[in-house]
Structure formats: C-alpha cells, structure tokens
C-alpha cells in the first residue's frame, strides 16, 4: 500500500469515526481511530491536525464538543476535557 492510499484511508477512517461518535457508537469510533493511528505509524505519516486534535490520546474516542468532550478557552489556549478524564491543551492566536 502506498503512502497516498494510506492517507486517503486515514481520511476515510476519520470521517467514519466522526459519524460513529455522532450516532453514539463510541466503541466503533475507538476502533476507527485506532486503525487510523496504526496506518499512520506503519506508513510513517502524520495524522491530519484536525483529526489528531479531535481524538482522545487516552481512550482513543473521537471527540464531539457537547457530546463527549468539554471545550473551554482560557488565556490563549483551548482546553479539551474528555469524558474519560483526559485533558488536552492547544495554543491558539486571537
């Protein structure tokens, strides 16, 4: 499998993970995220930024604000708190 095909498959898995989370199927979402991460590692690709920041690093579930993650803005950073208790902080510019 070439890197281009792997990148397309990662994008497809990201869409499936988002759809599964929207439908409330969190276990299925976890499987899609894990598959995408394994593909990226195998082919030495980085995950798209939007997808990487929307997936919990601890429980591997795709995060949807208001559904399974709390998002707050505080002093130049975004704070995302997952239902599993994991916290991720990302900078942002005003």
Read off the pLDDT of residues 50-62 as tens digits, 9 standing for 90 and up: 999 999 999 999 9
Partnered with residue 78 across adjacent β-strands are 73, 90
Q: How far apart are the first and last CA of the chain?
A: 41
**pLDDT higher than threshold 80 for residue 80:** yes
User: pTM to 2 decimals?
Assistant: 0.89
pLDDT at 93: 81
Per-residue pLDDT of 3-60, as tens digits, reads 999 999 999 999 999 999 999 999 999 999 999 999 999 999 999 999 999 999 999 9
pLDDT at 69: 95
What are the domain boundaries of the chain?
A: 3-91
H helices present in the chain, as ranges = 3-22, 26-42, 49-54
Percent of the chain residues past pLDDT 90, beyond the cut: 91
pLDDT at 94: 66
Q: How many helices (H) and strands (E) does the chain have?
A: 3, 3
């Amino acid at each position: 499998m070439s890197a281009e095909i792997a990148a397309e498959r990662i994008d497809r898995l990201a869409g499936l993970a988002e759809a599964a989370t929207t439908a409330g199927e969190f276990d299925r979402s976890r499987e899609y995220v894990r598959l995408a991460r394994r593909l990226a590692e195998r082919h030495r690709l980085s995950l798209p930024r939007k997808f990487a920041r929307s997936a919990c690093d601890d429980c591997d579930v795709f995060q949807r604000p208001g559904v399974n993650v709390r998002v707050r803005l505080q002093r130049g950073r975004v704070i995302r708190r997952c239902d599993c208790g994991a916290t991720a902080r990302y900078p942002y510019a005003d």
